[in-house]
A = this chain, B = another copy of it.
Amino acid sequence: MRTEIRELKRVRLRKPVLIEGLPGLALVGRLAVGYLVETLEAEKFAELYSPHFPYFVIVDESGHIRLPRGEFYCWRSPDKGPDLMFLIGDSQAQTNQGQYEVASCVLDFAKKHGVETIITVGGYRTEKGGSRVVCASTDEELLERALKAGAVKSPPGSPIVGIAGLLLGLTTMMDMRAICLLGETKGHLPDPRAAKNVLKVLTSFLGIDINLSGLDKSIEEAKRMEEAISGLRIEKPPSRRHRPPEDYIIY
């Protein structure tokens, strides 16, 4: 079995932009892009399966079962803006090589659908949280647009780990361009506040108008949980996957 994408229906999109938000640091990407999918009532049209996803299944609300997977949704712009394609899902690949395999598979699929621009969304760990949106890109014009939309440039040297980074790195081999938008977060709990911050920049970047107040309830809940545990000592960093390998040193 290899990584594969199953199309549930044939869609033809107009120069779509792919927006990726698989689960990562503080679930920032998953929360932000999931909110877009729901609010825009985007339509699911494909699923990605991989032997590099975790070897378990998930039980949904009605007692049914499914494999961990990625899900592609699409949304057709009502005006002259680009159509949007979204990738959300349950997990990232569990191994080094699997990360490359899944990212390559996503890019081949995007290319086939005419995607030229990719936006990846994730979290950016800082000690104190913060509310900025950090961006980095393979393309000068995208970078400029993101800065205008309120993002700040990533400091040099910091690695962007996982699919949010790899999709960018691999586009340069495929005649596409990409940008990542990373919301600052302390990173040890799901962070809807960081997701909202990213969405402010992302919707401005895309020129679409979306009501973000639907996230406010989650933000309140997250704040209460944060306060509740603030007296507790956190023993373990929240996610091994989002730290670079221990013995890696960038020169």
Q: Could you list which residues of chain A lie within 8 angstroms of chain B, going by C-beta atoms?
A: 1, 6, 23, 27, 30-31, 34, 49, 51-52, 54-67, 90-91, 94-101, 104, 135-138, 143, 153-162, 165-166, 168-170, 172-173, 178, 180, 190, 238-241, 244-251
Contact = CB atoms under 8 A, between A and B. Distances in A.
A165 B251 contact: no
Given A63-B137, A100-B1, A136-B59, A90 B250 contact: yes
B240 A54 contact: no
A155 B59 contact: yes
Contacts of A244: 54, 56
Work out how many copies of this chain go into the complex.
4
A213 to B, nearest CB: 20
A1 B56 CA distance: 25
The 7 closest A-B pairs by CB, nearest first: A51-B100, A67-B169, A55-B99, A57-B165, A57-B169, A56-B159, A56-B161
